[in-house]
Amino acid sequence: MKVTLIRHGETEWNASHHYQGVTDTPLSDRGKEQAAAITGTLPTPDLLFVSPLGRARSTAAIIYPDVEQIVIDDLHEWNFGVFEGHTRFDLEDDPDYQAWVASKATGRIPGGESLAQMYSRVAPAFRSALAQAADANLVSIVTHGGVIMGILETYATNAPAQPLVENCAPLECTWDGSHLTLHSPFVRQTGYRLPNE
């Protein structure tokens, strides 16, 4: 099965480097343009799965205007808890944030999810979506950078650690029933300071 993973278009909070997570911010004008730029360049999927958050659903509607969206609730972005709505500069004196950065973004986020908690939510949601698509040849998933990172780190055999996924840059993969093979290159890795998805 071919799987296309797409991170949503840019939002104002992406552009201003605010932690966004589960906050339901809309696409910016640039984000809409990014989605429009790839409309018609991708084959029409047999099934289209989306995050419940508006920025992913709006992106999917622009890229695939005639395809029904199947919402998978657990494909929402990493919950950044009390960090949401802030930049790393806002938080640099916060002890909880300092501890999280020191943990290389794997530690506890007050009111949110740890990296392991996010992965343990995303991985079965991804498998559940593909189980619904057992007879499909091509599936597209429009979601978030952290979610795609979790999918790739869990299932891809050839992805770098903590891959940074650009807005509206489709990643083409093949799913063999247990592993993904990535056919798209990455620009860079996130390191430990994750993008504000």
Write out the catalytic residue numbers: 8, 77
Backbone angles phi, psi at 120, to 5 degrees: -70, -20
What is the full DSSP assignment across 66-92?
Answer: TS-EEE-GGGSPP--GGGTT--HHHHT
Torsion over CA of 148, 37, 190 and 16, rounded to 10 degrees?
Answer: -110
Instruction: Give which of 125, 4, 9 is closest to 58, Cα–Cα.
Output: 9
Question: Do 122 and 150 meet the contact criterion of CB atoms below 8 Å apart?
Answer: yes
Cross-strand pairs, 172? 4
Could you give the CA distance from residue 129 to residue 122 in angstroms, rounded to a whole number?
Answer: 11
∠ CA(98), CA(100), CA(105), 5° rounding?
Answer: 135
